[in-house]
Chain A
Amino acid sequence: MGIVDLALVRFSLRQALGRHRLGRWAFLGFLVVLPALVALVVLEAGRFDPELAREWADREFRQQFLRGLFEGIQLPLLFPLIVLLLMVPALREEIDGDTLPYLWIAPLSRGAIVLSKFVGALGGAVLLVGMSTALAAAVAVPDAAVLGKLLLAALPGAAAYGALFLLLGVWVPRALLWGIAYVIGWEELFSRVSEAASQLSVRHYAVAVERALLREPSDVPLGTALGVLLGLTVVALVLAVWRFAQMEFPGGEEA
């Protein structure tokens, strides 16, 4: 038995990208295009503000603007929300929808089922995260090298968020609400209260990876940041597999 099952990865990807209520897709679309919209607004504002127009003409300014978008709203807020919206349903919707027994009765290790769902949903999330970054870069500074580094920087953070949200989905009902509360309450608000609080957030290490890749100063070395994010991903996945293996499926006439 392999670590992941390719058929299940493809199925999970299809579920992540092809089967959502209209409202969720609309929200996902909004999250994806928001950074590009912000860049467009600034670009348009340059028509009425000659100083802004002058600055916008400078490539260095636009690169810093793109970085600001990435570090300020994409990495700490938009990406976790995109990952949340695709990762939590990966198993939670199957649990609530009573379809999980069809996967449970497959002759696959419990770990292979959970990891395949994770990889599939993460693939979908990374696609949307990539689209979001590429759209913003297309408006601000269409530089393939910068775009590539930003995309690479987004990956470890997305994986860590993904593993946390998958665990949340396996463990608790109403996981989407808990996840939103975590992203906004912890990652976005609490982690900005102090430096110590910041160190308890995924954002802190994801930003450190981005700064290291763009050769910007950071107080966390790349190795440490990657180690923390990877460690978090592995621990969350191990717990998710353990929780999944303990699951029972009552329901039916006796429920």
Chain B
Amino acid sequence: MTMSGATVEIEGVTKRYGQVVALSDVSLEMGPGVVGLLGPNGAGKTTLLKLIAGLLAPTLGQVRVLGGSPRRDPKLYGRIGYCPESERLYDFLTGFEFLELCARLRRLPHPEEAAERALERVDLTKQRDKRIGAYSRGMRQRIKVAQSLLHDPEVVLLDEPLKGADPAQRRTLIEIVRALGEEGKTVVVSSHILHEVERMASQIVLIHKGRLLARGDFHALRAAMEDRPHKVALTASDPKKLAALLTERAPVRGVDFDETDGQRLIVEVTEPERFYRELPRLAVEAGVRLREIRGLDEDLESVFRYLVER
């Protein structure tokens, strides 16, 4: 750990694959606690995690973990846990055999016990002797997480650990991640789903198109999102009447008719909460029947678009 308390230091890192820039001039430091790495698919999250894990070498800049470079000093892997996004595993091994192998490769003193503990932690004890090839997607996800925690690492890197997990498994995994953070470990967890990250991490790092967009407290991002204008699609029995009323009395910046469907309005809303509260009353007042109300930009992509354009 450095004087500033950072366990992961990334300085001016760029990663190119030929002409494609996967990550561009990213600098950041991370310390103990859970950091959510957030970005849409293809943003550069996996590249960043692989750079930290030493699975990729930066084209420019440098990455230091626990004061060194795992690529140059593999001994550091004894203090780093990494859960890849890829679902590929040794399908011919049982869950126990896989974890025992990982424990032996990490030179743990009691590999069998470590494997049993890890299986228990991710609730896979009953499936210990089942071949990984026969595991469900959620079970594969959990066994990957288990191998990353076997050796009680100081830095844990989890790439989309909740992908493919059912709600109960998600709950278990989220609790594990939060507990790791509370134990004082540096946990970097990536996801493209906002509310998942919200449940695990207090600090977030936003990546978009290979660039570091924002970083810091989760609540600051939430506030930014509440401020942004939302687009809402409305289908109504009398769209013209509703459009006039909305323009006059609702917190909207503009109302347009959908070019492909004349019955559909596209409303740019400035205060979403107030708009959704007042909309039913205005519709009743105008004698208009609402058939569809749909937010058009509540996905992560639109949040990023908004933040990029801001």
Contact = CB atoms under 8 A, between A and B. Distances in A.
Interface of A: 1, 5, 7-8, 11, 18-19, 97-99, 101-110, 248-254
Contact of A252 (B46, B54, B101, B102): B46
Given A19-B92, A102-B147, A253-B42, A107 B57 contact: no
Contacts of A252: 46-47, 50, 84-86, 159
B50 A7 contact: no
Interface string B42-81: 1111110010011111000000000000100011111010
A1 B90 CA distance: 25
Contacts of B70: 105
Contacts of B107: 107
Interface string B132-163: 00000000000000010000000000010000
Contacts of B80: 105
B105 A103 contact: yes
Contacts, number: 83
Given A253-B41, A254-B42, A109 B159 contact: no
Interface of B: 17, 22, 41-47, 50, 53-57, 70, 74-78, 80, 82, 84-86, 88-90, 92, 101-102, 104-107, 147, 159
A110 B147 contact: no
Nearest to B71: A245
15 contacts: A1-B75, A5-B105, A11-B101, A99-B89, A101-B82, A101-B84, A103-B105, A104-B54, A105-B77, A106-B105, A108-B74, A249-B55, A253-B43, A253-B85, A254-B44
A104 B54 CA distance: 9
A106 B106 contact: yes
A240 B185 CA distance: 36
A5 B103 CA distance: 12
A86 B104 CA distance: 23
Contacts of A5: 104-105
Given A101-B55, A101-B84, A18 B92 contact: yes
A104 B82 CA distance: 11
Nearest to A246: B57
Contacts of B147: 102
Contacts of A8: 105
